Structure 1
Amino acid sequence: MIPTSTVSITCADGRELVGELRRPADPRAAVVLHPATAVPTKIYGAFAQQLAERGHAVLTYDYRGTGRSAATPLRLDRHVTMTDWIDLDAPAASDWLHAAFPGLPMLAIGHSVGGHAIALGAGADHLTAAVTIASHAGITALIPERAERLRVAAILSAIGPLTARALGFVPARRLGIGEDMPAGVMLQWGRWSRQRDYFFDDPSLDAVTRAARLRLPILAVGIDDDPWAAPTAIERITRRLTGAPVERLQLATTPDAPVGHLGFFRPSSSERLWGPVLEWTDAQVEGARAGRG
């Protein structure tokens, strides 16, 4: 078992994030794992441990307004947005890891919105390659199943915004969409979900230009039974990575062992799903190390 230590990450605006570092005795690469919307660090623990046992120093962390990086009470973080996660938190985590392991190849793994941060260039100057897991344009109209599409639309367009404005945060656990989150995250997410091209239609992000600048190899992973990240929704992101070599990996699932949007990182998925992703990351690391040799 690779030991875990708690670390503090300082963002460009002075905000402190809480992270966890798994450091093998002689690391051969460094990996930063950017989380999904309001998904706590503990969800990624087993996967991070597997990476560490393969010789990678692994940083996981909580975005501002979530997990151990949240204010108490959470309503004090009411103005936090997804843009803060993408433009402040993810780059800070990447910079921290690069500073801690400056001579090693560095990879990023992004889950859902964490993959958005990668697509928009978070830490790109430090990276050898990156993996996105279930990272998709969260456009409600692209959800394949009608009942789930209506449920998510009700949450993102009505219930979520109403509770966000009333409480200053969203009790997302009760709504079945993850952990509680800041009001600003829900309001921005809801706006993006109704736009034809998700955050690529948000002029404040300049997302089309930023995505086209990316030049590193990307493995974009989807899961067959993910109710949200259907292949068409993943393609809305990958098609914008016009300067990056993108490989698509669609993982098959079975009805008796559902995976969904979060289940890839569960220990129960290790034998069935992790292999191709770990092999790809190992190959990228070995290629980078050989190139530097």
Structure 2
Amino acid sequence: MRNNEVRVGRIGATLHEPDDEPAAALVIHPATATPSRFYANFAAYLADNGIATVTYDYRGTGRSGSPRANRSLGMRDWITEDVPAVTAWTAARFPGLPQLAIGHSVGGHALALGYGGPGLSGLVILASHAASARAVPDPAERRRVRLLLHVVGPALGSVLGYVPARRLGLGEDIPAAAMRQWGGWAKLDGYFFDDPAMDAAARAATVTQPVLAVGFTDDKWATPASIDRLTSHLTAAPVERRTYSPADGGVDAIGHHGFLRRGVRDTLWPELLTWLQKQSSMTDSR
């Protein structure tokens, strides 16, 4: 397996390639405040199984520019611009190969709204949901989410020009506008489906590729019910839902990020790989 650092405009990315000719190409669209290096082990696993895989950082995060210098970039910019840009680069780099995608959290939002493009053979939305902060079932987590998204995060963003998410236990630092938009959507019952600027319901209805929606019983944010709220808008796509417990993965906890950790490599990763390979092999017959 070979790794190469690449640039997609202002976006820093890594291409994980198999030693032999790949059978498919895939992009992992990351979660908010989650650096591309977090996906490296899973990307290597896919590459070792014949799928060339691209990981990257949204603009204003990680290797794609400082959050302070990109303070005006919102989540909408990541969804409508960064996701299509990396998708197009990957398709051009691997012409003729089946194109696949995995979207984690906000990355899954982008795929559910069709920004992964019509050329995908299949897409996975991982721990992606559509629900307001008030829908978080655990009271303590609900209070924490509201405090971070509606009070502390926006206040720090206004003062600093970026949100020090690392110090807040949210991952990588992010632009101030991304936090404002995230918090704004989290106040709406239907999340971004209630934001007229997103045209989200109409866009989701245009997705026709096979979708695998994966969730976890111990994810305090993306609960099975809130994932269903997202997938209910995929009215033209065949959607398969899978919900795993920590016991299914042979681990103590999975939560919002644990699927990408090596602890479930031998238990849960093979099932996702099999699904991706199936979509890839079916491309020519569609």
Q: TM-score, normalised by structure 2?
A: 0.96
Aligned equivalent of 1:174, options 167, 182, 185? 167
Using the TM superposition, give the Cα deviation of residue 228 of structure 1 relative to its aligned residue in structure 2, in angstroms.
Answer: 0.6
Using the TM superposition, give the Cα deviation of residue 124 of structure 1 relative to its aligned residue in structure 2, in angstroms.
Answer: 2.1
Aligned equivalent of 1:213, options 186, 206, 214? 206
Letter in 2 for 1:158: V
Q: Could you list the per-position Cα deviations for residues 187-242 of structure 1 after superposition, in whole angstroms to 9, with x for gaps in the alignment? A: 00000000010001111111110000110000000011111110111111100000
Distance 1:70 1:139 in 2: 29
- The answer for the alignment partner of 2:269 in structure 1 is 274
- The answer for the alignment partner of 1:143 in structure 2 is 136
Q: Are residue 46 (structure 1) and residue 45 (structure 2) matched?
A: no
- The answer for the alignment partner of 1:58 in structure 2 is 53
- The answer for the alignment partner of 1:118 in structure 2 is 111
Identity of aligned residues (%): 48
Aligned equivalent of 1:264, options 259, 262, 269? 259
Question: Match of 1:124, SS?
Answer: coil
Contact 2:245 2:254 in 1 (8 A): no
Contact 2:131 2:190 in 1 (8 A): no
Contact 1:33 1:59 in 2 (8 A): yes
Contact 1:94 1:126 in 2 (8 A): no
Contact 1:218 1:246 in 2 (8 A): yes
Using the TM superposition, give the Cα deviation of residue 279 of structure 1 relative to its aligned residue in structure 2, in angstroms.
Answer: 1.1
Question: Match of 2:197, SS?
Answer: coil
- The answer for the alignment partner of 2:6 in structure 1 is 7
Distance 1:23 1:270 in 2: 19
Correspondence list, 1:59-208, <5 A: 59-71=54-66, 74-208=67-201
Using the TM superposition, give the Cα deviation of residue 138 of structure 1 relative to its aligned residue in structure 2, in angstroms.
Answer: 4.6
Runs of 4 or more consecutive aligned structure 1 residues displaced over 6 Å after TM superposition = none
Distance 2:203 2:174 in 1: 26
Contact 2:251 2:263 in 1 (8 A): no
- The answer for the alignment partner of 1:237 in structure 2 is 230
Q: Are residue 23 (structure 1) and residue 22 (structure 2) matched?
A: no
Using the TM superposition, give the Cα deviation of residue 256 of structure 1 relative to its aligned residue in structure 2, in angstroms.
Answer: 5.8
**Number of aligned residue pairs:** 283
Larger fraction in helix: 1
Distance 2:135 2:206 in 1: 26
Distance 1:175 1:232 in 2: 27
Unaligned residue ranges in structure 2 (runs of 5+): none
Query: RMSD in angstroms over aligned alpha carbons?
Result: 1.3
Distance 2:218 2:6 in 1: 35
Distance 2:221 2:97 in 1: 35
Unaligned residue ranges in structure 1 (runs of 5+): 11-15
Q: Could you list the per-position Cα deviations for residues 144-201 of structure 1 after superposition, in whole angstroms to 9, with x for gaps in the alignment? A: 1110011111111111111011111111112112211110000000000000100011
